Amino acid sequence: MPFDIDARVIENRRLSSDYNVLSLEAPDIAGATEPGQFVMVKPDRGIDPLLRRPFSVFEILRDGGRPVGLSILSKRVGVTTGQIFGAQAGQRVQCLGPLGRAFTLPGPATEVWMVAGGVGLAPFWTVAEALAGRGVTLTLFYGGRGDADLLYLDYFERLGVTLAVCTEDGSRGERGRVTIPLERALAARQAGTDVLVHACGPDPMLAAVARLAARYGCRCEVSVERVMGCGLGGCYSCVVPVKAANGGFHHVRSCISGPIFDAATLVWD
Amino acid sequence: MDLSVRLGPLTLKNPLIAASGCFGYGLEYGEVVDLSSLGGVCVKGLFLSEREGHPPPRIVETPGGMLNAIGLQGIGVHRFIAERLPELRERGATVLVNICGVTLDEYVEVARVLSDAEGVAAIELNISCPNIKEGGIQFGCSLSGTYDVVSAVKKVTHLPVIPKLTPNVTSPSAFARAAEDAGADAISLVNTFLAMAIDVETRRPRLSNIMGGLSGPAIRPIAVRMVYECRCEVKIPIIGMGGIMDARDALEFIIAGADAVQVGTANFVDPFVWGKILDGISDYMTRHGIARIADLVGTTDTSPAHSHA
Ligand SMILES: Cc1cc2nc3c(=O)[nH]c(=O)nc-3n(C[C@H](O)[C@H](O)[C@H](O)COP(=O)(O)OP(=O)(O)OC[C@H]3O[C@@H](n4cnc5c(N)ncnc54)[C@H](O)[C@@H]3O)c2cc1C
Ligand SMILES: Cc1cc2nc3c(=O)[nH]c(=O)nc-3n(C[C@H](O)[C@H](O)[C@H](O)COP(=O)(O)O)c2cc1C
């Protein structure tokens, strides 16, 4: 059951000229959120822009263990993300959630390899928090354009996550795409090590990760990003093609059947 | 206070209906809204068989509104009856089924199939979807086509038949008249306005289908005008819609002549909008001493304005 909260902005942390983390007071949503789920957000009550925008829940904020709020990690690309970047503490933001399906969280017998491209890092804070608590071995493959696109590395380090970092301009970590260290790791994986890959980022990255996972026989879940109208299955705008038994495809709403999908079920070309 | 409204043979407990294509098959919203609290739930347009619709991008925002070109993705009438209707019935929803057809025969066949199902309150004939070339718009843009499809469907069903009119014609009231003459039990209007948006950087249309239908507050004044014109033209009940965001907007349509209203795009912005609209209508009735919402229908006061000398 999703909650709609007229959430107070607790804090707006600007991480760079494009990225910010907006903390919202929304205890009901925070208490019900599973890793990978999202919220539909509207910082301005007006009709332009009219629709809410989807954001992964980034952190769950706690006070003495009790969930009191959540944050979103936003990259400024347009009107709403501009409003989110400019938001002030105390301001109200409409926040509806939690929505969508979560990532599968395995037990300690399985390693989880998180693959993030840019702002695709967002769903992995909660994944790492939940799985570190269960003693699951975690690796984060994290790629961005440059150093400024790589965020929160110290947080993942503190949780004991192994990091494989790369940038396209070589300003931090390995130069190149995140699929390079991922493929190396998949090739070097010991027989008998069970790995579940979780990926979030731009479509070409997801397609490449899905291909690699299939080639090396790993289960892989991806978080897809489509233009969403409502987040609840009402409008049919956010569809992705899912393989059908007859060799064709079905359009499936990524807001309610996703945004997390088993990569093997999607049509990638 | 009496919120009930009559649409020909059909009585709704209140005038608020979820608009087709904006509320899935209703069940998607079962956790958010008590479906039985709504006057009606109009489900997404159904053909005889399943359709995958258009490729994304399927929606784009424009000032005060949105364009959509979903392309009537749907599970088809048979799966709807088998997989969705039983639970809608269990939840006490008053179900209006929006139906589409490529041919007149398809409309007739879908209507026939629905007439045998338990739990359908009315058929809304979608002859006005602007987004697919052969999905009924050819009937909705021709007076004789409108007449023919309404009378053909009326012949095969005992259910109330409510053609949904397009605003993409010079005079929707002429189509209202054709629908009434053909025996329609009510009419609904408006469907979306054919529109287009282009990304000037890439010069590409923003929708895969190139064009799409505009909905939301941007269209409201035009839709109100069309409902008003139709009220002046026909006697049958009218379901009005187009950009209703709150109770005042709903009341505007009712005063213009709508017996009931549908709400589409606003549900995307706020899925909890339903209770707010119903409460707002009740408040208004209390404030204005109106006992029955039906008494407010078509009460636009066009007498010369009093001077304030
Ligand atoms: C399930 C889900 C989770 C998401 N999580 C996050 C997150 O945690 N952090 C984050 O920063 N973003 C996230 N996004 C993307 C975010 O929703 C879009 O960036 C946002 O909707 C843009 O809104 P805007 O009003 O700023 O842009 P607009 O003004 O609407 O558009 C400006 C430009 O941005 C681009 N754009 C707009 N929407 C999208 C989109 N959905 N995908 C790609 N490009 C787009 C287009 O090029 C467009 O022309 C998520 C998307 C989904 C579907
Ligand atoms: C995403 C979307 C899908 C729609 N699908 C249908 C449909 O299947 N059948 C139909 O008759 N109207 C459809 N409509 C039109 C609406 O039912 C309604 O007539 C229109 O959106 C105007 O109302 P609104 O401004 O409240 O949304 C759709 C509208 C939208 C925005």
Cα-Cα-Cα-Cα torsion B227, B100, B204, B193, nearest 10 degrees, comes to -10
Compute the distance between CA of residue B53 and CA of residue B51 in angstroms, rounded to an integer: 6
Which one from B129, B141, B230, B232 is the annotated catalytic residue? B129
Element (H, E) at B90: helix B85-90
Contact B127, B189 (CB under 8 A): no
The answer to whether residues A152 and A118 touch, using CB atoms and an 8 Å cutoff, is no
Cβ partners under 8 Å of residue B38, min gap 6: B14, B16, B17, B18, B93, B94, B274
Cβ contacts of A152 within 8 Å, gap of 6 or more: A121, A125
In this prediction, residue A102 carries a pLDDT of 98
Checking if the pLDDT of A107 tops 90, the result is yes
Q: Ligand 1 pocket, A179 CB below 6 A?
A: no
B198 beta partners = B205
Q: What ipTM score was computed for the predicted complex, to two decimals?
A: 0.94
Tell me the DSSP string of B9-26. Answer: TEEESSSEEEPTTSSTTS
**Residue A53 Cα, ligand 1 centroid: separation in angstroms?**
7
The model scores a pTM over 0.90: yes
Which residues of chain B lie closer than 8 angstroms to A236, CB-CB? 21, 24, 44, 53, 58, 70, 73
State residue B309's pLDDT score: 55
Question: Could you give the CA distance from residue B139 to residue B161 in angstroms, rounded to a whole number?
Answer: 15
Would you list the domain boundaries of chain B?
Answer: 5-52+72-198+218-296
What is the band of B128 on the pLDDT scale with cuts at 50, 70, 90? confident
User: What confidence score (pLDDT) does residue B135 get?
Assistant: 64
Which of helix, strand or coil describes residue B304? coil
What tokens were used for A181? 């260290």
Q: Does B63 touch chain A (CB under 8 A)?
A: yes
Residue among A173, A210, A115, A100 nearest B28 (CA)? A100
Contact (CB<8Å) A256/B53:
no
B209 interface with A at CB cutoff 8 Å: no
* SS3 state of residue A176: coil
Mutate to test the interface with B, among A230, A239, A255, A266 (most CBs of B within 10 A): A230
The average confidence (pLDDT) of chain A is 96
Measured between CB atoms, which of A1, A51, A234 is closest to B66? A51
Report residue A168 CA to chain centroid gap: 20
DSSP readout, B198-238? Answer: EETTTTEESSTTSEEEEESGGGHHHHHHHHHHHHHH--S-E
pLDDT at residue B137 tops 90 = no
Whether the CB-CB separation of A49 and B217 falls below 8 Å is answered with: no
pLDDT tens readout for residues A21-76:
999 999 999 999 999 999 999 999 999 999 999 999 999 999 999 999 999 999 99
What is the best residue among A21, A53, A237 to mutate for testing ligand 1's pocket, by most ligand atoms within 8 Å of CB?
A53
DSSP string, B260-273: EEEE-HHHHH-TTH
CA–CA min distance B309, chain A (Å) = 37
Q: pLDDT-based confidence at A246, cuts 50/70/90?
A: confident
Over residues B20-35, the mean pLDDT reads 96
Instruction: Measure Cα distances from B26 to A172, B131, B268, B292 in Å.
Output: 50, 22, 13, 27
Q: What is the mean pLDDT of chain B?
A: 95
Is B129 annotated as catalytic? Answer: yes
Are the beta carbons of A234 and B73 separated by less than 8 Å?
no
Residue A159 exposed, middle or buried by CB count within 10 Å (0-12, 13-18, 19+): middle
Identify the pLDDT of residue B305: 79
Q: What domains does chain A contain, in order, with CATH numbers?
A: 3-99 (2.40.30.10), 110-223 (3.40.50.80)
Q: What pLDDT, in 10s, does the model give residues A167-208?
A: 999 999 999 999 999 999 999 998 889 999 999 999 999 999
Q: Does B192 lie at the interface with A, CB-CB under 8 angstroms?
A: no
Centroid of chain to Cα B1: 25
Q: Which of B23, B191, B194, B246 best tests ligand 2's pocket when mutated (most atoms within 8 Å of CB)?
A: B191
Give the model's confidence band at A269: pLDDT under 50 very low, under 70 low, under 90 confident, else very high: confident
**In this structure, which amino acid lies at residue A185?**
A
In this structure, the residue with its CA closest to atom 31 of ligand 1 is: A78
> Which residue, A156, A195, A165, is CA-closest to A58?
A156
Asked: is B5-52+72-198+218-296 a CATH 3.20.20.70 domain? The reply is yes
CA B2 to chain centre: 23
Kindly report, residue by residue over B250-281, the tens digit of the pLDDT: 999 999 999 999 999 999 999 999 999 999 99
